[in-house]
Every structure is written in structure tokens, then in C-alpha cells.
Amino acid sequence: MDFLTDFKPLTVQPQEIEGMSFNMIDEEFGQHSFTEEQYKIVQRVVHASADFELGHSMLFHEKAIQSGIKAIKNGEQVYADVQMIVSGVSKGRIEKHGGNVHVYISDEDVMKEAKRLNTTRAIISVRKSIQQFDGGIYAIGNAPTALLELIRLIKGGYAKPSLVIGMPVGFVSAPESKEELAKLDVPFITNVGRKGGSTVTVAALNALSLLAEKA
């Protein structure tokens, strides 16, 4: 099997690859108006997506970083709209302070209620989340309906998150949901347009937990 014996393994260590990647991002990203802490999050998002346009389109509430760090260090809970976010988050940095990452999208009671009301599980899972914990961080990367429902609950005074990381991907309602989020006077991290997704939402949350670890 020549394809095995001829294989030349990559000798660069993983941490070196990451460092090289970040250097390349810094070189190619160009001018921006992000603060140093905001750029740490943008950098991770670009690293996860290889999408500079997405990075440049990111928006931050002025209190987003401070509020997110405080929430993590105070052991506040994290709500995720889909399991993929739970799988990708570096949970150790959140759990060490007493927090955890929760997802309710596949819970039996959520599925039954969504069927009864003829609505989406994403909407019902957000409603369940505000009954489970006050404040906390909401990480929404897949379902625009989840973000729109959270926005409705915030406007109604039913939800008071410490931070909303809202970057759902898609064509239907995704850009609009992020536009609405950016109008709220609550700490948020979002982006403009259709791009986004669970991967970049995870990257933003992981970058935030790294900032919390160093704070």
C-alpha cells in the first residue's frame, strides 16, 4: 500500500496551526473599528468560518463583552437553540464557574407543546428556557424563529438575558431577526445579513469564555 508508506505526516503542532491562522487573519482582515476585546471574538468567528465578510459584518452592543464575561464568571446559565452548539462549546470554561449549557429543542414536553400549538419547537424551547432560569446567555445560531421569540419576550419584559449571541443563518427571517436584535437595548453580539450559523455562534461563545478566563 504505497499510499500509506508514502504518507508524510504534518509536523506542525495544532497550537502552531492556530497561531499561524490567526496571523493570517490579522494580515488579511484590514482596517476595522472593533475594540480589542471585540476583535478577539471577531477573530475566532473568522477562524471558524474563513469568512472575512462575516467578520466585518459583526455588531456588538457596547456592554456585550463586559456583561458576557460577568455572566460566565457569576455562573449564569447558557441556553442554546440547537444541540450542535452544546457539542461545540468548551463547556469546561463555563462549568468551572457553576454554569452549564442547556438545550430544550428535543425535549418531549417541547415537542408536544409545539404540536399542540402548531408552531415550531424553537419557539417553545425559548419559552421553556425563560421558565428555567433568569438572565443568562442565549446562544442562537440556527433558528431565526427562536431569536424572534426571544426578542418578543424581551420586549414584553418576560426575558432579561445578560447577553444574546444571535447569529442564525438562513434566508427566511434570519437577516430580519438580527436587525431586530440590534435595535434592542440589551447586550448582544450579532451580524448583518444571511450569514451565521451554529459554528460561528459557538466560536463567539468560546472566545467570550476565553476572555472571561483571562479577566
pLDDT in tens, 102-137: 999 999 999 999 999 999 999 999 999 999 988 999
**CA 165 from centre of chain:** 5
- The total number of structural domains that make up the chain: 1
DSSP structure class, residue 40 = H
What pLDDT does 19 receive? Answer: 84
Give me the count of residues in the chain. 215
> Where would I find the beta strands (DSSP E) of 50-131?
58-60, 78-80, 101-102
How do residues 29-73 score in pLDDT, each as one tens digit?
A: 999 999 999 999 999 999 999 999 999 999 999 999 999 999 999
**CATH code, domain carrying 188:** 3.40.50.10230
Largest CA distance in the chain: 66
76 within a domain of the structure (yes/no): yes
CB 82 within 8 A of CB 103: yes
Count of other CB atoms within 10 angstroms of residue 14? 8
| Grid coordinates given for 97 | 464557574
| Grid coordinates given for 88 | 461545540
191 within a domain of the structure (yes/no): yes
What pLDDT does 6 receive? Answer: 63
68 within a domain of the structure (yes/no): yes
190 within a domain of the structure (yes/no): yes
| Grid coordinates given for 212 | 472571561
146 within a domain of the structure (yes/no): yes
What pLDDT does 17 receive? Answer: 80
107-130 burial, b if ≥16 CB within 10 A, otherwise e?
eeebeebbeeeeebbbbbbbbbbb
Helices first, then strands: H and E counts in the chain: 12, 6
| Grid coordinates given for 118 | 402548531
Q: Examine the residue annotation and report whether 102 is marked as an active-site residue of this protein.
A: no
4 within a domain of the structure (yes/no): no
Q: Which residue has the higher pLDDT, 21 or 110?
A: 110
Helix (H, G, I), strand (E, B) or coil at 78: strand
32 within a domain of the structure (yes/no): no
Range of the domain at 108: 59-214
Catalytic member of 47, 56, 97, 102: 47
Query: Residue 9: beta bridge partners?
Result: none
Share of the chain above pLDDT 90, in %: 88
73 within a domain of the structure (yes/no): yes
